[in-house]
Amino acid sequence: MGSTGTVLRELRGAQKSAKGVSLYSRYVNRPAGRVLAAGAYRAGLTPNQVTLVSAAFTYAALAAVALVEPSWTLGLVVYAALAVGFAFDSADGQLARLTGRGGPDGEWLDHVVDCGKLLLVHAAVLISFYRFGELPSDAWLLLPLGFQLAAVVTFCAGLLREQLGKAAAAGAPAGSTAAPVSRVRAVALLPADYGVFCLVFLLLGAPGAFRAGYAALAVVHTLFLAAFLTKWFRELRALRPG
């Protein structure tokens, strides 16, 4: 088993493409995940165990949002746990590529944990609104449901786009060239990045500010959903056999 420095160098060569990745994931989450993956490798953990560690941090944080009265301290703890959970979510794939121990079971487990996270994060906000919110109107209870719908549809549609695109590409002639990584796109994707979304929980100590930030992100994610669905539909239609 090599030194941590050696493992980190090997992990740098085992990164996924930066195409379609926001600046946060590229320069914050993936490097943090790389450090965690190196530690997990030294500790002898498997990629699936790292996925479960990610789930433990994330789901504990979401349970706290639902069950504990909002405060600045809670917001800091929740954000830290969500950020660490997200970094471990990057670490499991990096560890799998480093060790060659990835497989369909690991990819399935990772997607199950991610889907549960998207469902629970907005359910937790809804419960917090109901229990502690002192909302200006009961209509605010609909906001987490709408945000949840946008997040889950984006997640599922993106997975389908990826899998259907792979299936179509398998029978297509070789020779296509990948588009270059766009810095403008990486900046534009920041509002849709889960790591950036987690920052809103730092506002839990100020309920009005939290509601405003959460509502703004809901609008942004809904707009991204419309843009993504249009883009993915056109791409898949272009893959139809002539």
Cβ atoms of 210 and 203 within 8 Å: the answer is yes
Examine the pLDDT at 162 and tell me if it is beyond 70. Answer: yes
Secondary structure element (H or E) that encloses residue 220, with its range: helix 207-238
Alpha-carbon distances, residue 142 vs 96, 129, 135, 204, 228 (angstroms): 39, 10, 12, 19, 23
Q: What is the pLDDT of residues 14-54, one digit of tens each?
A: 556 556 678 888 889 999 999 999 999 989 999 999 999 99
- Residue 134: is it exposed, middle or buried by C-beta count within 10 angstroms (0-12/13-18/19+)? exposed
Output the CA–CA distances (angstroms, integers) from residue 160 to 140, 147, 154, in the order listed. 31, 20, 10
> Quick one: average pLDDT of 84-96?
94
Q: What is the dihedral of CA 166, 171, 176, 181, to 10 degrees?
A: 0
pLDDT band with cut points at 50, 70 and 90 for residue 177: very low
Q: What is the mean pLDDT of the segment spanning 164-168?
A: 80
Q: What element of type H or E holds 161?
A: helix 142-170
Give the position of tokens 């959970």: 85
Structural contact between residues 74 and 204, judged by C-beta atoms closer than 8 angstroms? yes
Query: Of 119, 107, 113, 217, which Cα lies nearest the Cα of 162?
Result: 107
* Model pLDDT for residues 185-202, shown as the tens digit of each residue: 788 888 889 999 999 999
- The reported pTM is 0.87
pLDDT band of 180, cuts 50, 70, 90:
low
Judge contact between 44 and 52, C-beta under 8 A: no
Quick: pLDDT tens for 109-157: 999 999 999 999 999 999 999 999 889 999 999 999 999 999 999 999 9
